[in-house]
Amino acid sequence: MAVSIAIASGKGGTGKTTISANLAVALAKFGKDVIVLDADIAMANLELVLGIEGKKGKTLNDVLAGNASIEEAIYEGPAGVKVIPAGISLDAFRKARPEKLEEVLKKLHDMAEIIIIDCPAGIGKEALTAISAAEHLILVVNPEISSIADALKVIAIAKKLGTNVLGAIINRTMKEDSELSSKAIATILEVPILGVVPEDPNVRKCAAFGEPIVLKYPDSPAAQAIMEIAAKLIGKKYIPEKKKEKESFIKKFLRGIFGGRK
């Protein structure tokens, strides 16, 4: 049985799609069987971030319209992640019935270990359908008051819908004085902070080329932060490659000095 996690926010543009795509790839890098589904059926762009938009075929909207089976809408993405795009066809979106999402998710439960659901922003009908269909929820917030205030509404609604809130990811931090601190955000939201992803120009570069940052620039600060969050979610410890290299260099060096002594 898969674990389903909705990635949601109150305010738009906080980084849900970026985090969903990269978290899915990061979990796959740790050996997990992952599905990432675009529940933002009106403004789909997960497929762009994961570089699979060229693959023409059935999409989630076709499935929700009853015109395709879910199996037909699954595509292989980076690192073996199974991607379910929402599709950009307006016609398919018009015919889609979002209330069918829960039924679709049930079918996916035997097809992976983890299902990441990229939600639309806010608390509209489509967002609520996705949040209520998921078992768990992670909020993506920016370190500013409007983002946090809107996140509070999502938390309240998730609780009402019976979706377990795992915590929040603070995205796009710039270490500016005007930013709310992690501690302040945790206090206001009353949920754990799962990680802090800094503002990183590589994120935009990767989005433009349809490549996840955790693969394209694994040593970049944003990629490392996302790898750490993925590791935390599955109870693993993440040691960045660079740190590993440094540690093994120090070990070899010390062995060189002390290794021969009895």
Interface with ligand ATP (CB under 6 A): 9, 12-18, 40, 43, 121, 171-172, 197, 199-200, 203-204, 207, 222
* Least Å from the CB of residue 200 to ligand ATP: 4
Under a CB-based contact definition with an 8 Å cutoff, are residues 61 and 94 in contact? no
Please give the DSSP secondary-structure letter assigned to residue 109. T
Query: Which structure tokens are listed for 154?
Result: 């999502």
* Least Å from the CB of residue 57 to ligand ATP: 23
Among 9, 14, 17, 220, binds Mg ion (CB under 5 A): 17
Residue 35 in 3-state DSSP?
Answer: strand
* Least Å from the CB of residue 167 to Mg ion: 19
The entry of ligand ATP, Mg ion, none that residue 222 binds, CB within 5 to 8 Å by partner kind: ligand ATP
Q: Which residue is nearest to Mg ion (CB)?
A: 17
Nearer to ligand ATP, 4 or 20 (CB): 20
The entry of Mg ion, ligand ATP, none that residue 212 binds, CB within 5 to 8 Å by partner kind: none
Q: Is 11 annotated as a binding residue?
A: yes
Q: Is 18 annotated as a binding residue?
A: yes
Nearer to ligand ATP, 62 or 118 (CB): 118
The entry of ligand ATP, Mg ion, none that residue 173 binds, CB within 5 to 8 Å by partner kind: none
Say which residue the tokens 């996916």 belong to: 108
Q: Is 14 annotated as a binding residue?
A: yes
What angle, rounded to 10 degrees, do the helices at 145-161 and 125-133 form? Answer: 60
How would you class 251 by CB atoms within 10 Å of its CB: exposed for 0-12, middle for 13-18, buried for 19 or more? exposed
Nearer to ligand ATP, 15 or 114 (CB): 15
Residue 49 in 3-state DSSP?
Answer: helix
The entry of ligand ATP, Mg ion, none that residue 200 binds, CB within 5 to 8 Å by partner kind: ligand ATP
Whole-angstrom Cα distance, residue 157 to residue 150? Answer: 11
Under a CB-based contact definition with an 8 Å cutoff, are residues 195 and 226 in contact? yes
Nearest CA to 26 among 14, 17, 34? Answer: 34
